[in-house]
Structure 1
Amino acid sequence: MTEIVTIQVGGFANFVGSHFWNIQDELLGLAADPYADPVFRNQNLNMDVLYRTGETPQGIVSYTPRLVSVDLQGSLGSMSSRGTLYNETSPGPSYVTTWAGNISTHASGPHRKNLFLESLYEEERESLTVMNGINGRENNSRREIHDEDKVESLENGVQFWTDFSKVHYHPQSLYELSGLWTDVQEFDNYGIGKDAFSGGRGEEMSERLRFFAEECDYMQGFQFFVDDSGGFSAVAADFLESIADEYTKTPVLLYAVRGPVSHTNLRSQKQTVFRDIHDAVSFSRLSSFCKLIVPVGLPLLSRSKAATFLSVKDEEPYHCSAVYAASLHAITLPFRLEHLGPTADSCNISGSMDVSGVVQMLTGQARQNMVSILDVAMPAPPLTGKQVEQTLLRNLQPLTPDITEDVEDLQAVESISVQGSFGSPGHRASVSEVNDMVEAAYENATSRPKFCHLSVSQCPLPIPLPFPSIFGSHVGQHGELLDSPIISSRSRGSLDVHSIPMAARLRSSSAVLPFLENRLVKLRRYGIERGASGAQLLSSWGFGQDELQDMGESLSKMVSALDPHSHTSSDSD
């Protein structure tokens, strides 16, 4: 058993995580549903990699994500920090016996559940009533909430990531940073989060992580989602440092995720410089404590090639995070595929690999590059049609910002994951068909990567009910791409699209050079050069000149690893 412990730090990271776990929950439900498509019942995914089995105080068996989620206080909406499964009541107010004066208590009222969460609560209450052999009249009179109304309530009213979560969490999973409230200050820069991990908070977070890690038989690695656009980058860096000290041989695969909103609202030159400094320091610190970092998040996802068949609202984290979550689900597929031995090619999956294997493959081939690019095709195109051998690969589009497109890199290394792809119309492509298509595509390409690992599953991405309505008019019920658009006044969601084929790719390539060079240049210009305009700001964040020099050297080595002839100077832009 090779378990993964997942960590989510920050607002947008938890939005991504909420969709990610909804997808896993949907897979679990379909696998147990005798009426579901057989492809879901025979998916050959080992969900124990991500989940743990436990038992509630009431003796009910639980199956919950092996997860530590960190966010600001008040970020859980209507959900308790103890989750929903264990139904433990919070302790009453404590009284300070050494204080003889008056005591005032400030408490915020509970957030009201939306229609989606109301329906979940009613369904679970009814299920428990039936399990206990009780036939209460109140169940006969409960208000029926239609799926259309649930979807509409989510499209119009998601404020917290818990608003659309249909997953039960363990009481150790949800951690709010005490004393840091969502409505008190803007947690929008590295300096604000610098001391958030100090004191008791850091130890409490580490203790929660320890709870999940110590019960693992053989932990293959950590997958870490962080919203690195603000103060949570500093929280994550300190958390990662403690993980590196305690779990020295366990690889960390870090996804630095950002919503489009984090790229906007820069109203002045000073704010732009402020953000440039943050981005340089954030990346430098995070990358120093993980084995592989994958930057995810485009400034305008809706206008990118990755959203060709989608209808995304950039201003809605609920929308953008769904795309990134689906992509991360696809690219992490190899970690959960069952090992089926040498006969796997004749089955419906192929290409199992653990976290350590993926990290070593992408970082250790010919050059030490620890920054990977994420590409996606959502939905993935069919394997049939004109120029069939190049269709799927040509439709893979980057979700990593600031990269060069169509670069030729003979030292590139790739890990591709394809799930639920269509071969002939209406039929899922076999493992051998996908293998042949990818091999043919590279044979006919002007250049090919030095090495490519391919993982294939016939199981498509299921679309849970709380998934946003982001599919365009050319996407059919099972994710097939239609020749003629469906005439509709609205975008298509989970009531219209039940599943989609997905393709995703992680690649180590010199195409990421602009991303790295930009951060190196900004760090030198605003922090390292004599008279740098950001020196005072960085000093207030606790960074001395020696530490900034070390960051600059590390970034320079990353650039040189991808381009030995690069001589990035402080005058570059």
Structure 2
Amino acid sequence: MTTREILTIQLGHYSNFIGTHWWNLQESNFTYDPKNPSEINHDVLYKEGENMRKQVTFTPRLLIADLKGALGYLSEQGSLYDTESDNQLLWDSTKLEITSAEPSLRTSFIQSLNEFDGSVDSENFNFESDVKSWVDYLSPQFHPRTIMVIKQYLHNCTQRPFNIFTYGRDLWSTEQFFDNFTDKIRLYVEECDLMQGFQVLMDSIDGFAGLGASCVQHLHDEYGKSILAFPCLDFNNAEPSASDLVKVVNTALCWQHIGENSSLYSPLSCGQVGWPFGADARKFENITYSPELKYHSSAILATALDTLSLRYRTKKYPSASLSDLCADLNKLGRKAAATSLSLPFPMKMKMDLIDVLDEFEGSLWTSLTPNCDIPMDNNMQSIALRGISENRIKRPIHEASKQISKPAYRCSSVHEMMTLYLACTCHASATYLSNIEAPLKITLPYPKIFNNNVTKDGNIAGWPVGTDVNSIAVMAGMHSGSNVAAMYESLLKQTKRIRSIKKFHAFTDSGLEEDEFVECVHNLTDCKEAYEDYYI
């Protein structure tokens, strides 16, 4: 099978929270049984290598950037390869003054990963209080090329924060960062046989917005491959403050530039409003989570990414590609799409898919894009479903009873039945559906956010079952429709509160011109109008 490789790039602290859950999920869903091979082609996002001991390694094809102090115990070179040098033999240790910092503490979960007996007792961990950074629940091993530490800025520093779009853009322009980071990209690309493109996650409310926009422009200019970008916004329910408008400007500039250079982008947030004022979090019927905890909210966003990306990662659809997804949704110059999630997909106990769909009322999905609710109608959409077995679509004919009178009874597969359902319920929509039978395995360190009516295999019970959930069915999608206009309109409304960018000295002092800001506002207006129905 020809592997069509993808390079993933994560820029920013919250993006790395999401990415960590994503890579954890992928590795927990690896299948090692040759009699039951995986339906997912892991070579799309992973690369095979060899360490210094000639041991075969399998690591994410990944580049990460974060600020100094955010990595805690984790070395910039990772821990998979022996990178210790013998340089100490070249120096006279009696003439050296060695200064060392206190080693960063490891959470009990990270310590357990290094225990040889492999035992992991969930009762020993309290992730909600222990997790301060994404490295505190990171399971996979990284290639030494993966991590890039931005040494010019310190994580959580209030004296010199990395909080302005132009700071990130200026950082990209520095010779030291640009050469180092782009060399790493080039080395990854050169290792690929048939590369299909890039996935880029970036924080959009701080300096990483500028860094991410510059990175996407470089990828566009240098490689000409498909670029799927996800500007991420952490949930914030704090009281409004002056810094909120700074985050609004960062987000607006970010969207403008990645809209010009990416193939498709979808803003991600667990907040209903994202710009970022006090607002409610997105609600799911069968899960309860704390949206203010990055560890919780990022898990939900990662679950959506892991599922919607199945379209171009499965062996079942070897010809499906990232470029197909982008081309389906960026019609008429519309570069933005909304992301949806159904977690878990509501398969009730002892019920077949035909009955679940027949009884279901309302929307099947919840939006994960701020200020954008996704209707069932009038969308270009790509939807991926996992975790529903083919033997759960309907009863055999001698047990069918009332099922046999339903038109969907003629369907012979999950794909066929879901396609029929979406055709009947999503009026005036064009839908591309992907599905695999394997459920999403849920293992530590995924947060325990499922309600007590969810069974261990992800079914929905009508009573408390009080058990750990081991696997679930999930549906996620990307949608391009007129409701995306509301997302632009809300950001435009906040951006227009700024009469002149000159009042924000941090932007002007770092090189942002008034004309550039005015152009950004006009861009938001154009994008909003592009999604309004009467412009179609």
Q: Which TM-score band applies after superposition, normalised by the shorter structure?
A: 0.7 to 0.9
CA–CA separation in structure 2 for the residues paired with 1:78 and 1:536 = 36
CA–CA separation in structure 2 for the residues paired with 1:437 and 1:446 = 14
* 183 and 296 in structure 1: CA distance in 2 versus 1, 3 angstrom threshold: closer
Counterpart for residue 437 of structure 1:
417
Counterpart for residue 203 of structure 2:
227
Counterpart for residue 229 of structure 2:
254
The aligned length equals 505
Is residue 287 of structure 2 the alignment partner of residue 320 of structure 1?
no
* 319 and 426 in structure 1: CA distance in 2 versus 1, 3 angstrom threshold: farther
User: What whole-Å deviation, never above 9, does each CA across 1:157-178 have from its counterpart, x for those lacking one?
Assistant: 0112111111010000011112
8 Å CA contact retained: 2:381, 2:477: yes
Is residue 339 of structure 2 the alignment partner of residue 374 of structure 1?
yes
Counterpart for residue 471 of structure 1:
450
CA–CA separation in structure 2 for the residues paired with 1:183 and 1:340 = 44
- Structure 1 residue 340 displacement after superposition: 6.1
Counterpart for residue 561 of structure 1:
530
Match 2:154 to one of 157, 178, 181? 181
| Alignment RMSD | 3.2
Q: Write out aligned runs for 1:528-567 (5 A).
A: 534=503, 538-563=507-532, 565=534
TM superposition score normalised by structure 2: 0.85
8 Å CA contact retained: 1:377, 1:392: no
Match 2:103 to one of 105, 110, 113? 110
- The one-letter amino acid of 1:419's match is R
CA–CA separation in structure 1 for the residues paired with 2:380 and 2:240 = 39
Counterpart for residue 24 of structure 1:
26
CA–CA separation in structure 2 for the residues paired with 1:562 and 1:505 = 18
CA–CA separation in structure 2 for the residues paired with 1:340 and 1:443 = 21
Q: Secondary structure at the match of 1:195?
A: helix
User: What whole-Å deviation, never above 9, does each CA across 1:230-250 have from its counterpart, x for those lacking one?
Assistant: 111111112222222211x20
* 446 and 340 in structure 1: CA distance in 2 versus 1, 3 angstrom threshold: closer
The percentage of aligned residue pairs carrying the same residue is: 26
8 Å CA contact retained: 2:228, 2:262: yes
CA–CA separation in structure 2 for the residues paired with 1:426 and 1:445 = 18
Counterpart for residue 99 of structure 1:
none
* 60 and 386 in structure 1: CA distance in 2 versus 1, 3 angstrom threshold: closer
User: What whole-Å deviation, never above 9, does each CA across 1:94-152 have from its counterpart, x for those lacking one?
Assistant: x9xxxxxx9987643211222222221122xx7xxxxxxxxxxxxxxxxx9651244x2
User: What whole-Å deviation, never above 9, does each CA across 1:205-243 have from its counterpart, x for those lacking one?
Assistant: 111111111110111110111121211111111222222
Q: Secondary structure at the match of 2:143?
A: coil
User: What whole-Å deviation, never above 9, does each CA across 1:230-275 have from its counterpart, x for those lacking one?
Assistant: 111111112222222211x201100112221xx343443x333333
8 Å CA contact retained: 1:419, 1:503: yes
* 106 and 564 in structure 1: CA distance in 2 versus 1, 3 angstrom threshold: farther
Counterpart for residue 384 of structure 2:
417
Match 1:514 to one of 473, 480, 486? 486
Q: Secondary structure at the match of 1:296?
A: coil
- The one-letter amino acid of 1:147's match is D
Match 1:15 to one of 14, 17, 27? 17
Q: Write out aligned runs for 1:304-383 (5 A).
A: 304=281, 306-339=283-316, 353-364=320-331, 367-382=332-347
Counterpart for residue 344 of structure 1:
none
Counterpart for residue 502 of structure 1:
474
Counterpart for residue 400 of structure 2:
none
Q: Secondary structure at the match of 1:479?
A: coil
* 108 and 147 in structure 1: CA distance in 2 versus 1, 3 angstrom threshold: same
User: What whole-Å deviation, never above 9, does each CA across 1:440-484 have from its counterpart, x for those lacking one?
Assistant: 3345437231x1100010011111221111111121101111111
Q: Secondary structure at the match of 2:508?
A: helix
Bigger mean CA offset, 396-405 vs 277-286: 277-286
8 Å CA contact retained: 1:178, 1:201: no
Counterpart for residue 139 of structure 1:
none
* 363 and 183 in structure 1: CA distance in 2 versus 1, 3 angstrom threshold: closer
- The one-letter amino acid of 1:67's match is L
Q: Secondary structure at the match of 1:472?
A: coil
8 Å CA contact retained: 1:362, 1:507: yes
8 Å CA contact retained: 2:163, 2:205: yes
- Structure 1 residue 407 displacement after superposition: 7.5
- Structure 1 residue 184 displacement after superposition: 3.1
Structure 2: 5+ residue stretches without partners: 274-278, 396-407
Q: Secondary structure at the match of 1:122?
A: coil
Q: Secondary structure at the match of 1:315?
A: coil
8 Å CA contact retained: 1:281, 1:523: no
- The one-letter amino acid of 1:331's match is L
CA–CA separation in structure 2 for the residues paired with 1:212 and 1:392 = 46
Counterpart for residue 289 of structure 1:
261
CA–CA separation in structure 2 for the residues paired with 1:286 and 1:378 = 29
Counterpart for residue 69 of structure 2:
74
Q: Secondary structure at the match of 2:336?
A: coil
- Structure 1 residue 376 displacement after superposition: 0.6
8 Å CA contact retained: 2:8, 2:62: yes
Counterpart for residue 346 of structure 1:
none
Q: Secondary structure at the match of 1:204?
A: helix
- Structure 1 residue 385 displacement after superposition: 6.8
8 Å CA contact retained: 1:384, 1:423: no
8 Å CA contact retained: 1:224, 1:253: yes
User: What whole-Å deviation, never above 9, does each CA across 1:511-556 have from its counterpart, x for those lacking one?
Assistant: 1111112333444442xx6x56756554234222332343334333
Q: Secondary structure at the match of 1:85?
A: coil
- The one-letter amino acid of 1:211's match is L
- Structure 1 residue 315 displacement after superposition: 2.2
Q: Secondary structure at the match of 1:239?
A: helix
Counterpart for residue 160 of structure 1:
133
8 Å CA contact retained: 2:7, 2:45: yes
- The one-letter amino acid of 1:376's match is L
8 Å CA contact retained: 2:486, 2:528: no
CA–CA separation in structure 2 for the residues paired with 1:514 and 1:106 = 54
Counterpart for residue 399 of structure 2:
none
CA–CA separation in structure 1 for the residues paired with 2:108 and 2:394 = 36
Counterpart for residue 98 of structure 1:
none
Counterpart for residue 193 of structure 1:
168
Match 2:8 to one of 6, 9, 12? 6
8 Å CA contact retained: 2:272, 2:369: no
- Structure 1 residue 336 displacement after superposition: 1.0
